[in-house]
């Protein structure tokens, strides 16, 4: 009788970890973006995954769909900012207070929306694009003997 089964080590990368760290949806190893979310330069996407060579822009104009996701993010953030402003200040008179709060929130979160709308599109709204654990493995290094 076998008392202890050897547990196979799981090297799989969780979807949430990969999404938060903006990794490729197929291998969850390669970076989707070349630089960080907040910086002096605009965010730039890699054309292909540096690990598994997946082409991120599936077809021309593919990321236009991400605008709808980004729109949803924006509306949700504006509503939350407006409600928080109301609950903190109890002001229902001045629209300028709401403008002064909501506008900076939208500007500050724009890079976040840009990045995560594209990632949500790649992860959840793209048919036929799934995690392939075999793609996640380290590339075999050819050694000359
Ligand atoms: Zn990849």
How confident is the model over 70-82, as pLDDT tens digits? 999 999 999 999 9
- Domain for residue 128, yes or no? yes
Contact between 24 and 32 under an 8 Å Cβ cutoff? The reply is yes
CA of 6 to the centre of ligand 1 (A): 30
- Domain for residue 1, yes or no? no
- Domain for residue 8, yes or no? no
- Domain for residue 5, yes or no? no
Across-strand partners of 48?
55
- Domain for residue 4, yes or no? no
CA of 131 to the centre of ligand 1 (A): 9
Structural domain containing residue 38: 15-136
pTM of the model: 0.82
- Tokens standing for 30? 């390669």
CA of 81 to the centre of ligand 1 (A): 36
- Which one has a higher pLDDT value, 84 or 13? 84
- Domain for residue 100, yes or no? yes
- Domain for residue 2, yes or no? no
CA of 51 to the centre of ligand 1 (A): 5
Q: What is the DSSP letter of 33?
A: B
CA of 30 to the centre of ligand 1 (A): 5
């Amino acid at each position: 009788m076998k008392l202890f089964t050897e547990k196979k080590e799981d090297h799989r990368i969780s979807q949430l970890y990969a999404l938060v760290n903006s990794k490729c949806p197929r291998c969850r190893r390669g970076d989707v973006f070349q630089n960080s979310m907040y910086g002096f330069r605009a965010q730039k996407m890699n054309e292909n995954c540096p690990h598994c060579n997946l082409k991120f822009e599936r077809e021309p104009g593919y990321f236009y769909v991400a605008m709808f996701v980004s729109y949803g993010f924006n509306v949700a953030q504006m509503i939350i900012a407006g409600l928080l402003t109301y609950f903190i200040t109890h002001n229902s008179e001045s629209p300028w207070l709401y403008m002064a709060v909501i506008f900076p929130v939208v500007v500050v979160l724009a890079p976040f929306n840009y990045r995560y709308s594209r990632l949500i599109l790649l992860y959840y709204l793209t048919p036929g694009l799934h995690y392939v654990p075999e793609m996640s493995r380290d590339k075999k290094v050819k050694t000359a003997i």
